[in-house]
């Protein structure tokens, strides 16, 4: 014992350690205090597995055991996997197969895989999935992770493993002639992992670096567990902050006494609403000017949801910060709460935003923030003239993002007295602009650094911690770290908007002549993305069938629940679920084959998008037409791969057996950035050795955008991706970009990179012409980092770099390119889902998900495939299990990962991706977006499959066994 600490002797990553340790310190905190930042904190509740380390070769959740418990044992963290400078086969395999997306779960997945392979070097697929079941991944759908473990197994057993490749096939003009490699038919329930399959029309041009399975540019450091994330950094003198949140859904803060907390030795600041100026803002990280209302202040004297901000403290240790929180005495006047969105709109409802200093609320007395009413054509007349009118009402849940890295921010003054915010954000430039007035600093006095991000999915497109962190640094002069607990992720961060969706479809013959969408969106306690999510929902869903008479009516409503915000799918996935379900119901009632009915009506190449001008994002939009689509090809390939019609025929003969199979399909579209609003920029600079710095404001959240943007630059400059030092993003050093949202990165930021690269290419040619003594660049050619004259003489990039910087016509070869588009070309896709329903329990077992995707030119099939696989995983949770549940007082009853069912490795069905390339005229090399589209199709296809199996239409998600069982009983099953 020394100062109450216990002796701890153990072996850590092969090195004998002897020290004294506080017996109350967890192994997680102990290891991170040693700067072993590869050990991640995801929940501190033993639910997520991010903190997994090996103790005597067995996976252990380090948050659940004390450091003293490893006395006499051997501990291995990811930092100990590498031997003699060589990555362990597991690390190598994860890097090579594309198993790493955000990389936050990667150390835990790899250590778990190592433990499995040490015990069983040739595990089966089921054994791999069972072993990985304790470590959640929110990005990948586990497909490439399972593949990586198999590859590592082969490497360990001395089997030869070739380069990871994707399957490429030419798309025949006659779609009936399309043949898939045998495994993609999944005959005899074959369960193995398949690589993405890419169909390319013969008319598309060849590319050198685009379209290849390029390994991620940040893959090695993530495989090695390097300190790459926001919290993997400890400035000297850093204080630990903690946030006091409201226990009430609706209350006034009558009195707040922080004197005892302030008096605690080691507590450096306690801030309440009495300490901060009342500066209004909107927390959604969007372009200037953000839509009104600006309905938040950093700390308020009223709380509007359980989890709302009350006070924030900074102290020497996390434990002391928590103790200080407990010593803040708050007297509340508890007010009636409106938890349900329909109740919140009624006469006499509690008014959630009754403050007088907020502008821009449509009808504050009924908690209606926005009312949207946009129409093209004459919908009522078209309904009156229709042969048939179909209507349906649908409800969708308040899904939680569940990204594995909690929100975290570290703030500090730099040596020039500028405020630095190192934060886990999707929108560094919006953070800088929005936080500046809140903390009384000029925009130029703030620097925002976005390191690697452990997933975001829209949840980090929001200003949640940065203002409070900066306030504490201002108050103390010290660096401050503020992180949400996992419970706060559920109750204080953002979620998907729950929606009540009513579609009405008018049909004449087999043509959809009119569609009306009446939507109520619940934005929770603050407006955030309330307006834009619903506008996008209206635009995208009404554009799918693009009726000439389309009407969008929408109310966006406050409730006393945690605010909703941006979440992948952005309103569209909810409304497409409703629309596609009603379309199939209509087809069934009309006696028309569902695919024929949809095909007859879906938007076609060259069609004007009727509502595009009226529904922009928070403002009017721009006229657009559909410039590329492979909807027909995607549907035809999906029908073939799933043997759709034969299965539907066979399932009709199942009778009333207990377990019934079904197959469903849906078609979906999305967008690529926000037309006329999203702007990205990139800078490329040549170095002495002919390499380049690629500096981008774009924000890679784990999507692989840094890699695909480098592939675009490589394509223009004819040099490998490895020649680029890629950096994103830092508001001091990288050019502006709106950030990662609205499916804009490939399309908008990719356009910026292409523009920058083309300017640099021209400068390279000009300098080469000088060096070669030529007047013109017209006859020069670039091949493999070298510029050739017609006579065969040449100069290499290295020679050009050295010459331009040191010798001849000295100047820096560099350029900054920007890009904005007045179009947002929709990617299109067909989704197929196969299920088995247990009619006695209501359990729906999903057996296969297949998405056939047109995202324009596929820049990197592995990273794009990963986006689709992970998107389907999140969509599956949305349909089957993921909901945040509140009691009548507005308290969330399942605010931990153990109670919120996100899909685990062993629960996932077969998850397949096929791409059909198109060449969109406005996208960089023909590319469109992929990430949000990926989440849009599973809900309607799965509901269609359940109907195919049981005859029941499910209209409210998620499809819990109880709901399905009740619906079956109502239907007489
Ligand atoms: Fe697994 Fe992101 S790669 S959580």
Q: Is the CB of 702 under 6 A from ligand 1?
A: yes
* Distance between Cα 454 and ligand 1 center (Å): 7
Say what the pLDDT of residue 740 is: 72
Q: Is the CB of 140 under 6 A from ligand 1?
A: yes
How big is the CA angle at 400 (ends 399 and 406), to the nearest 5 degrees? 170
Q: Is the CB of 717 under 6 A from ligand 1?
A: no
What DSSP character marks residue 924? G
State the CB neighbour count (10 A cutoff) for residue 377.
Answer: 15
* Distance between Cα 145 and ligand 1 center (Å): 10
C-alpha span between 345 and 325 (Å, rounded): 35
C-alpha span between 839 and 257 (Å, rounded): 57
**Nearest residue CA, atom 4 of ligand 1?**
137
What DSSP character marks residue 806? I
User: For residue 303, which of 360, 247, 377 has the smallest C-alpha distance?
Assistant: 247
Pairing state of beta strands 786-788 and 794-796? antiparallel
State the CB neighbour count (10 A cutoff) for residue 83.
Answer: 9
Pair 138, 404: CB distance under 8 Å? yes
Q: What are 794-799's contacts with CB under 8 Å, separation 24+? A: 795/768, 795/771, 796/690, 797/686, 797/690, 797/691, 797/719, 797/723, 797/764, 798/688, 798/689, 798/690, 799/690, 799/771
Work out the pLDDT band at 603, boundaries 50, 70, 90: very high
C-alpha span between 153 and 94 (Å, rounded): 12
* Distance between Cα 83 and ligand 1 center (Å): 24
Is the per-residue pLDDT at 410 higher than 70? Answer: yes
Token pair, residue 753, equals 């990179």
Cα torsion angle, 503, 504, 510, 514, sign = negative
* Distance between Cα 12 and ligand 1 center (Å): 25
**Nearest residue CA, atom 2 of ligand 1?**
102
What DSSP character marks residue 2? B
Say what the pLDDT of residue 2 is: 53
* Distance between Cα 453 and ligand 1 center (Å): 10
Q: Is the CB of 137 under 6 A from ligand 1?
A: yes
3-state helix, strand, coil in the chain (%, to 5): 30, 25, 45
Is the per-residue pLDDT at 729 higher than 70? Answer: yes
* Distance between Cα 777 and ligand 1 center (Å): 46
* Distance between Cα 104 and ligand 1 center (Å): 5
| Mean pLDDT score of the chain | 96
Work out the pLDDT band at 618, boundaries 50, 70, 90: confident
Token pair, residue 368, equals 């209606």
Mapping DSSP onto H, E and C, the string for 42-60 reads: CCCCCCCCCCEEEECCEEE
Q: What are phi and psi of 403, to 5 degrees?
A: -60, 145
Pair 521, 557: CB distance under 8 Å? yes
C-alpha span between 440 and 648 (Å, rounded): 64
Coil, strand, or helix at residue 854? strand
C-alpha span between 573 and 940 (Å, rounded): 9
User: For residue 114, which of 135, 140, 95, 88 has the smallest C-alpha distance?
Assistant: 88
Token pair, residue 419, equals 């405020």
Coil, strand, or helix at residue 540? helix
Token pair, residue 361, equals 């609320």
| Separation of CA 871 from chain center | 8
Work out the pLDDT band at 973, boundaries 50, 70, 90: confident
Is the per-residue pLDDT at 637 higher than 70? Answer: yes
* Distance between Cα 142 and ligand 1 center (Å): 9
Work out the pLDDT band at 673, boundaries 50, 70, 90: confident
How big is the CA angle at 21 (ends 18 and 26), to the nearest 5 degrees? 115
Is the per-residue pLDDT at 924 higher than 80? Answer: yes
Residue in 455, 701, 863 to alter for ligand 1 test, most ligand atoms within 8 A of Cβ: 455
Token pair, residue 166, equals 């994707």
C-alpha span between 701 and 138 (Å, rounded): 12
* Distance between Cα 268 and ligand 1 center (Å): 35
Q: Is the CB of 815 under 6 A from ligand 1?
A: no
Q: Is the CB of 771 under 6 A from ligand 1?
A: no
Pairing state of beta strands 309-315 and 267-271? antiparallel
C-alpha span between 776 and 766 (Å, rounded): 8
Residue in 113, 139, 406 to alter for ligand 1 test, most ligand atoms within 8 A of Cβ: 139
* Distance between Cα 526 and ligand 1 center (Å): 29
* Distance between Cα 581 and ligand 1 center (Å): 31
pTM over 0.95: yes
Model confidence over 741-768: pLDDT tens digits? Answer: 767 789 999 999 999 999 999 999 999 9
Q: Which atom of ligand 1 is nearest to the CA of 404?
A: 4
Model confidence over 207-216: pLDDT tens digits? Answer: 999 999 999 9
Strand ranges in 592-717 using DSSP code E only, listed in sequence order: 659-669, 679-686, 692-696
Token pair, residue 460, equals 């980090």
For the segment 379-408, the average pLDDT, to the nearest whole number, is 98
Residue with tokens 């309330």: 530
| Lowest mean pLDDT, pick from 112-126, 158-172, 848-862 | 158-172
Q: Which atom of ligand 1 is nearest to the CA of 101?
A: 3
Q: Is the CB of 636 under 6 A from ligand 1?
A: no
Q: Is the CB of 874 under 6 A from ligand 1?
A: no
* Distance between Cα 314 and ligand 1 center (Å): 30
User: For residue 958, which of 574, 584, 533 has the smallest C-alpha distance?
Assistant: 574
For the segment 768-772, the average pLDDT, to the nearest whole number, is 98
C-alpha span between 318 and 351 (Å, rounded): 37
Token pair, residue 759, equals 């300017």
Mapping DSSP onto H, E and C, the string for 153-193 reads: HHHHCCCCCCCCCCEEEEECCCHHHCCCCHHHHCHHHCCCC
Is the per-residue pLDDT at 177 higher than 70? Answer: yes
Work out the pLDDT band at 559, boundaries 50, 70, 90: very high
What DSSP character marks residue 64? S
* Distance between Cα 138 and ligand 1 center (Å): 5
Q: Is the CB of 102 under 6 A from ligand 1?
A: yes
As beta bridge partners, residue 5 has 2
Residue in 98, 229, 404 to alter for ligand 1 test, most ligand atoms within 8 A of Cβ: 404
Q: Is the CB of 138 under 6 A from ligand 1?
A: yes
C-alpha span between 495 and 401 (Å, rounded): 6
For the segment 352-361, the average pLDDT, to the nearest whole number, is 95
Strand ranges in 559-628 using DSSP code E only, listed in sequence order: none
How many alpha carbons lie under 13 Å from residue 698 in its C-beta half-sphere? 37
Q: What share of the chain has pLDDT > 90, as a percent?
A: 94
* Distance between Cα 102 and ligand 1 center (Å): 5
Model confidence over 118-130: pLDDT tens digits? Answer: 999 999 999 999 9
* Distance between Cα 601 and ligand 1 center (Å): 38
Residue length, the chain?
Answer: 973
Q: Which atom of ligand 1 is nearest to the CA of 99?
A: 3
**Nearest residue CA, atom 1 of ligand 1?**
137
End-to-end CA distance of the chain: 68
Coil, strand, or helix at residue 775? coil
Say what the pLDDT of residue 32 is: 98
Is the per-residue pLDDT at 643 higher than 70? Answer: yes
C-alpha span between 52 and 614 (Å, rounded): 50
Q: Is the CB of 871 under 6 A from ligand 1?
A: no
| Lowest mean pLDDT, pick from 326-340, 589-603, 626-640, 697-711 | 697-711
Say what the pLDDT of residue 972 is: 84
State the CB neighbour count (10 A cutoff) for residue 152.
Answer: 28
| Lowest mean pLDDT, pick from 174-178, 186-190, 377-381, 853-857 | 186-190
Strand ranges in 563-678 using DSSP code E only, listed in sequence order: 659-669
Say what the pLDDT of residue 1 is: 53
């Amino acid at each position: 014992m020394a100062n109450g600490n216990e002796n701890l002797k153990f072996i850590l990553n092969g090195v004998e350690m002897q020290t004294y340790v506080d017996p109350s310190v967890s192994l997680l905190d102990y290891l991170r205090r040693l700067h072993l930042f590869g050990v991640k904190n995801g929940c501190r509740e033993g639910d997520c597995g991010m903190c997994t380390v090996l103790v005597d070769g067995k996976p252990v959740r380090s948050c659940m055991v004390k450091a003293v418990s490893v006395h006499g044992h051997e501990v291995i963290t990811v930092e100990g996997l590498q031997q003699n400078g060589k990555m362990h086969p597991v690390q190598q395999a994860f890097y090579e197969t594309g198993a790493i997306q955000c990389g936050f779960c990667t150390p835990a997945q790899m250590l778990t895989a190592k433990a499995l392979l040490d015990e069983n070097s040739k595990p089966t697929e089921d054994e791999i999935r069972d072993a990985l079941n304790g470590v959640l991944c929110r990005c990948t759908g586990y497909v490439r992770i399972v593949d990586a473990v198999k590859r590592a197994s082969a490497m360990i057993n001395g089997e030869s493993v070739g380069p990871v490749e994707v399957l490429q096939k030419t798309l025949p003009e006659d779609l009936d002639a399309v043949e898939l490699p045998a495994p993609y038919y999944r005959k005899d329930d074959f369960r193995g992992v398949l690589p993405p399959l890419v169909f390319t029309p013969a008319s598309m041009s060849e590319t050198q670096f685009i379209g290849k399975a390029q390994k991620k540019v940040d893959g090695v450091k993530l495989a090695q567990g390097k300190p790459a994330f926001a919290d993997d950094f400890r400035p000297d003198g850093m204080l630990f902050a903690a946030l006091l949140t409201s226990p009430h859904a609706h209350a006034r803060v009558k009195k707040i006494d922080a004197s005892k907390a302030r008096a605690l030795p080691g507590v450096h600041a306690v801030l309440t609403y009495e300490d901060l100026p009342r500066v209004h803002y909107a927390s959604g990280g969007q372009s200037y000017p953000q839509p009104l209302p600006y309905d938040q202040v950093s700390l308020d004297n009223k709380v509007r949801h359980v989890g709302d901000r009350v006070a924030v403290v900074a102290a020497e240790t996390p434990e002391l910060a928590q103790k200080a929180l407990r010593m803040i005495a708050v007297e509340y006047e508890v007010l009636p709460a409106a938890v349900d969105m329909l109740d919140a709109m009624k006469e006499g409802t509690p008014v959630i935003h009754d403050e007088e200093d907020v502008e821009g609320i449509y009808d504050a007395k009924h908690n209606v923030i926005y009312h949207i009413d946009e129409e093209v054509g004459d919908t009522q007349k078209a309904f009156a003239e229709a042969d048939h009118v179909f209507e349906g009402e649908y409800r969708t849940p308040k899904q939680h993002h569940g990204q594995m890295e909690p929100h975290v921010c570290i703030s500090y003054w730099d040596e020039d007295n500028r405020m630095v915010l190192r934060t886990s954000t999707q929108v560094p430039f919006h953070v800088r602009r929005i936080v500046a007035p809140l903390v009384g600093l000029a925009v130029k006095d703030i620097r925002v650094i976005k390191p690697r991000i452990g997933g975001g999915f829209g949840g980090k497109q929001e200003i949640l911690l940065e203002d409070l962190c900066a306030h504490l640094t201002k108050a103390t002069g010290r660096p401050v770290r503020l992180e949400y607990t996992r419970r706060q992720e559920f109750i204080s961060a953002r979620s998907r908007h729950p929606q009540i969706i009513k579609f009405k479809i008018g049909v004449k013959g087999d043509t959809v002549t009119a569609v009306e969408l009446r939507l109520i969106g619940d934005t929770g306690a603050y407006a955030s993305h309330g307006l834009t999510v619903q506008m996008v929902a209206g635009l995208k869903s009404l554009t799918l069938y693009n009726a000439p008479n389309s009407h969008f009516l929408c109310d966006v409503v406050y409730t006393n629940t945690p605010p909703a915000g941006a979440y992948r799918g952005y309103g569209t996935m909810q409304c497409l679920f409703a629309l596609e379900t009603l379309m199939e119901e209509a087809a069934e009632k009309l006696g028309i084959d569902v695919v024929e009915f949809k095909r007859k009506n879906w938007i076609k190449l060259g069609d004007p998008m009727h509502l595009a001008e009226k529904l922009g994002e928070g403002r009017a939009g721009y006229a657009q037409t559909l410039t590329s689509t492979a909807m027909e090809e995607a549907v035809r390939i999906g029908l073939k791969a799933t043997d759709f019609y034969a299965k539907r025929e066979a399932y009709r003969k199942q009778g009333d057996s207990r377990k019934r199979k079904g197959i469903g399909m849906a078609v979906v579209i999305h967008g690529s950035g926000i037309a006329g609003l999203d702007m990205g920029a990139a800078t490329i600079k040549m170095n002495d050795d002919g390499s380049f710095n690629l500096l981008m404001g774009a924000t890679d959240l784990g999507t692989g955008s840094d890699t695909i943007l480098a592939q675009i630059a490589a394509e223009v400059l004819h040099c490998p991706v490895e020649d680029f030092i890629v950096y994103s993003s830092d508001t001091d050093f990288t050019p502006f970009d709106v950030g990662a949202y609205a499916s804009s990165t490939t399309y908008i930021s990719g356009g910026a990179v292409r523009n920058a690269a083309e300017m640099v290419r021209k400068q390279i040619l000009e300098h080469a012409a000088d060096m070669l003594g030529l007047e013109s660049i017209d006859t020069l050619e670039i091949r493999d980092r070298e510029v050739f004259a017609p006579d065969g003489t040449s100069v290499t990039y290295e020679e050009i770099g050295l010459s331009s910087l040191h010798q001849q016509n000295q100047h820096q070869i560099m350029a900054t390119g920007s890009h904005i588009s007045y179009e947002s070309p929709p990617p299109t896709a067909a989704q197929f889902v196969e299920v088995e329903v247990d009619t006695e329990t209501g359990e729906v077992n999903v057996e296969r998900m297949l998405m056939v995707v047109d995202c324009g030119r596929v820049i990197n099939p592995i990273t794009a495939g990963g986006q689709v696989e992970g998107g389907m995983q999140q969509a599956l949770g949305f349909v089957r299990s993921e909901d945040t549940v509140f009691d009548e007082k507005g308290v969330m009853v399942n605010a931990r990962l153990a109670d919120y069912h996100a899909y685990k490795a062993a629960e996932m069905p077969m998850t397949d991706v096929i791409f059909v390339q198109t060449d969109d005229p406005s996208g960089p090399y023909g590319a469109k977006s992929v990430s949000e589209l990926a989440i849009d199709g599973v809900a309607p296809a799965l509901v269609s499959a359940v109907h195919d199996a049981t005859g029941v239409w499910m209209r409210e998600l998620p499809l819990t066994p109880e709901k399905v069982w009740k619906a079956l009983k109502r239907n007489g099953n």
